[in-house]
């Protein structure tokens, strides 16, 4: 199936590895002109070279970096037509582990970064009468996940904003959607597995397989599966999907709506 995004300019945030990188890879494979952003220059440049993308060093939790990132992408690749909002996850831990600064940081990292980046590209999309914004969220936006209280508070806010914004801009031809990954074996999940292993006295491998055994599909997700979903959502094929939060989790989430 031709997704019809060849030649489109796509900005994928937080993409030197893991899920963001897989999104960049899938979009590039479909012929999009991709810009990738992350904080650490070397792995970012290596990943961008492999994928054939533009690398822009940026910390999406910093307002000035967000502005400079979009300016650079527009200058080098033209107006952003596909925006993939992604960032690292907030620190794991229970309520008592986080001070008020940690709460502010989590909201800045996962909500405000996406809101601000979107605000920087949305006027151009509206003027063009097209554009797709995809927010990488988490199943922690749909149900409570142990040890992820910061995520359980900040992710639903992103889903609420996704839904509301989609309704505001749908008539202009711009689409907004969210994806909620379950368990994909990336650095982020390795860190969370370590915490579970320490608490339960299991080895990392035991903690990982015990967690994975709760997935009805019987396996972890492959980052490229999420990348391909995002490429589809970024395409005109998904034009009628607006405001949705799509789980990609092998059947893990139990909620009904
Ligand atoms: N993996 C899963 O199963 C899963 C499930 C649900 C939700 N998620 C969420 O999906 C997102 C991506 O997760 P992942 O598993 O792909 O993580 P990952 O493998 O740790 O990769 C994170 C990527 O984001 C970049 N990054 C982190 N903080 C950044 C910042 N402030 N500004 C710019 N780039 C930043 C990292 O590069 P630098 O460190 O160099 O910046 C790296 O490229 C996270 O929010 C995570 O919580 C993941």
Domain positions in the chain are 9-182+222-246, 184-220
The per-residue pLDDT for 257 is: 76
Q: What are phi and psi of 57, to 5 degrees?
A: -70, 125
Q: How far apart are CA 124 and CA 189, in angstroms?
A: 36
Average pLDDT, the chain: 97
Nearest ligand 1 atom to the CA of 19 is 16
Ligand 1 centroid–CA 21 distance in Å is 9
Ligand 1 centroid–CA 88 distance in Å is 3
135: confidence class by pLDDT, cuts 50, 70, 90: very high
Least confident window among 75-89, 96-110, 198-212: 198-212
Ligand 1 centroid–CA 171 distance in Å is 32
Q: What are phi and psi of 173, to 5 degrees?
A: 100, 0
Ligand 1 centroid–CA 186 distance in Å is 8
Is there a contact between 161 and 111 (Cβ–Cβ < 8 Å)? yes
Name the burial class of residue 37, with classes exposed (0-12), middle (13-18) and buried (19+) by CB atoms within 10 angstroms of its CB.
Answer: buried
Alpha-carbon Rg for the chain, nearest whole angstrom, is 18
The CATH number of 9-182+222-246, from 3.50.50.60, 3.40.50.720, 3.40.50.170, 3.40.50.880, is 3.40.50.720
Nearest ligand 1 atom to the CA of 136 is 10
Q: What is the mean pLDDT of residues 19-32?
A: 98
166-187: pLDDT as tens digits: 999 999 999 999 999 999 999 9
Q: How far apart are CA 232 and CA 245, in angstroms?
A: 14
What's 111's DSSP letter? I
Task: Look at residue 58 and tell me whether its pLDDT is greater than 80.
Answer: yes
pTM of structure:
0.98
239-255: pLDDT as tens digits: 999 999 999 999 999 99
98-126: pLDDT as tens digits: 999 999 999 999 999 999 999 999 999 99
Task: Look at residue 199 and tell me whether its pLDDT is greater than 90.
Answer: no
Q: How far apart are CA 257 and CA 254, in angstroms?
A: 9
**Top-confidence residue, 134 or 195:** 134
Q: Atom 22, ligand 1: which residue's CA is nearest?
A: 88
Concatenating the DSSP letter of every residue in 30-41 gives: TT-EEEEEES-H
């Amino acid at each position: 199936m031709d997704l019809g995004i060849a030649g489109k300019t796509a900005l994928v945030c937080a993409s030197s590895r893991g899920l963001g990188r897989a999104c960049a890879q899938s979009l590039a494979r479909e012929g999009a002109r991709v810009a990738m952003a992350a904080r650490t220059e070397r792995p970012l440049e290596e990943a961008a070279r492999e994928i054939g993308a533009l690398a822009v060093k940026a910390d999406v939790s910093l307002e000035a970096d967000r502005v400079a990132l979009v300016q650079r992408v527009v200058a080098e690749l033209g107006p952003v037509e596909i925006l993939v909002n992604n960032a690292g996850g907030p620190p794991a831990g229970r309520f008592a582990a986080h001070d008020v600064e940690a709460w502010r940081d989590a909201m800045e990292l996962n909500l405000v970064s996406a809101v601000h980046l979107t605000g920087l590209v949305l006027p151009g999309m509206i003027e063009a009468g097209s554009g797709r914004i995809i927010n990488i969220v988490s199943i922690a936006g749909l149900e409570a996940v142990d040890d992820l209280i910061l995520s359980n508070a900040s992710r639903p806010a992103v889903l609420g904003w996704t839904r509301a914004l989609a309704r505001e801009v749908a008539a202009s031809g711009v689409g907004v959607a969210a994806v909620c990954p379950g368990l994909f074996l990336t650095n982020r999940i390795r860190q969370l597995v370590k915490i579970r292993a320490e608490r339960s006295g299991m080895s990392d491998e035991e903690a990982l397989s015990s967690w994975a055994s709760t997935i009805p599909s019987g396996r972890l997700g492959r980052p490229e599966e999420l990348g391909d979903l995002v490429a589809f959502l970024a395409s005109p094929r998904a034009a009628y999907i607006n405001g949705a939060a799509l789980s990609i989790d092998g059947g893990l989430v139990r909620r009904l709506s």
